Amino acid sequence: MSELVTPRQLEPLGFAVPSTVPTHWYNLAADLPEPVPPHLHPGTREPLTPDDLAPLFPMSLIAQEVSTERWIEIPQTIREIYAGWRPSPLVRAHRLERALGTKAHVYYKYEGVSPAGSHKPNSAVAQAYFNAAEGITRLTTETGAGQWGASLSMACALLGLECEVWQVRASYDSKPYRRMQMETYGGTCHSSPSDLTKAGRELLEKYPETTGSLGMAISEAVESAVEDPNAHYALGSVLNHVMLHQTVIGQEALVQLEEANERQADIVFGCAGGGSNLAGLSFPFIGRNLREGSTTQVVACEPAACPSLTQGEYRYDFGDVAGMTPLLKMYTLGRDFVPPAIHAGGLRYHGMSPMVSHAVNLGHISAIAVDQDTAFTAGIEFARAEGIIPAPESCHAVAGAMDYLRTSAEDGEVVVIGLSGNGVLDLAAYEQYV
């Protein structure tokens, strides 16, 4: 970085960032009793080296990917950007408690206050920053529902990079406002599979009527990045460094619960697709369990249409359809799995984050599957009680929590729901349920 001219967008503005904005990311790998299984080279099947990842990621992110340090400092420029919406609110859901007739204490951690409308900027800003700091001028990525594509487009606009997005066809067609959001930020968005890449053309020839998948879109984005020496690939979920960046969510929640005079969260519900939202909320709670003996339970709520945790196998698999990515040890339905075109596009991924998968395998996280009708019914009930329309993905966590509150919760128990984003640009998905 010292040999490069630092773009103006990377320089701190110099204003005082509130002390409530986290100063470090938390790395669960430091506290797990067993190390996370390493990623493997797709050709040799040997553990990856930093040089293997260099065509796709900057060395700073590669270092974070393999780090076992508990705390990693957040650069001042990133904290300044975070301060625009962080800390996000932890809200006591009094009206939902009344509607459900529960005496449990229900809270939701609301990430929909970010400019892009979800938790995704927590990593998008970090990835854009570290890439720009190493001289990269263009980022490519995939997106499902569009929350990640919009967030990376926003981050690239703030930090002076170009952004090119391949969006899963089902969501590209059904969520035009997400594409418009990306374009407003200056990003370019393509329907995937597309005819712009070799992987996309082969997929279109083999599956001309496909609704697409995140695995297909990843193949296209990776191919585009490796062919351009000025480009890198950015991933919105799954990898360790993405889980790391998202832990600002759970760190804040721990402090906010203490400020609310709650001893601990008894149970935490988060939606789960690739793993970023769930990890961000839950990993600081799990870390405290491991270090201090607290007893917070964590429940991953995944779509029944794409149930990697509840029905997948825990094994090494590719992160994409074309087999261009490293092999990851994860719960997977198989890289060729193409889920139905459900509205929760951000959860339509065949695998689960290796770190989340490892935590599940060790028993630190349990998992349930929620069908789409149940998820949206819960989302509507939440909206009518609390006023916030949850993103379709978040509805899965809401549904899991509501079922627990109706059937199992004890008086005074503390329940935390991860509300990973708002559904304002997903209203068409709600139409058939209202």
In the chain, where are the structural domains located?
80-117+241-433
326 to 53, 103, 138, 240: CA distances (angstroms): 9, 47, 22, 13
The mean pLDDT value of the chain amounts to 94
Split at pLDDT 50, 70, 90, the class of 3 is very low
User: Which token pair is 24?
Assistant: 């470090």
Which pLDDT score, from 0 to 100, does residue 321 have?
77
CA angle 298, 299, 301 (to 5 degrees): 150
pLDDT at 4 > cutoff 80: no
Counting other chains too, the contacts that 360-366 makes at CB distance below 8 Å and 24 or more residues apart are 360/300, 360/309, 360/331, 361/314, 362/32, 362/33, 362/34, 364/286, 364/289, 364/290, 364/298, 365/278, 365/282, 365/286, 365/298, 365/299, 365/300, 366/297, 366/298, 366/299, 366/300
Q: What is the mean pLDDT of residues 71-93?
A: 98
CA angle 193, 199, 203 (to 5 degrees): 55
Lowest model confidence (mean pLDDT) among 238-247, 315-324, 339-348 = 339-348
Which pLDDT score, from 0 to 100, does residue 308 have?
96
Query: In whole angstroms, what is the distance from residue 356 CA to residue 240 CA?
Result: 9
For 185-238, how does the pLDDT look when each residue is reduced to its tens digit (9 = 90+)? 999 999 999 999 999 999 999 999 998 988 899 999 999 999 999 999 999 999
For 333-384, how does the pLDDT look when each residue is reduced to its tens digit (9 = 90+)? 998 887 776 666 667 788 999 999 999 999 999 999 999 999 999 999 999 9
Which pLDDT score, from 0 to 100, does residue 345 have?
61
Query: In whole angstroms, what is the distance from residue 287 CA to residue 364 CA?
Result: 10
Lowest model confidence (mean pLDDT) among 15-24, 28-37, 165-174, 360-369 = 165-174
Lowest model confidence (mean pLDDT) among 41-55, 243-257, 319-333 = 319-333
Residue type, 207: Y
CATH fold of 80-117+241-433? Rossmann fold (3.40.50)
Query: In whole angstroms, what is the distance from residue 49 CA to residue 13 CA?
Result: 36
Residue type, 129: Y
Q: What is the mean pLDDT of residues 107-124?
A: 98
For 254-278, how does the pLDDT look when each residue is reduced to its tens digit (9 = 90+)? 999 999 999 999 999 999 999 999 9
Query: In whole angstroms, what is the distance from residue 248 CA to residue 215 CA?
Result: 27
Which pLDDT score, from 0 to 100, does residue 2 have?
38
User: Which token pair is 214?
Assistant: 């995140």
Percent of the chain with pLDDT over 90: 88
pLDDT at 1 > cutoff 50: no
| Residue-level length of the chain | 434
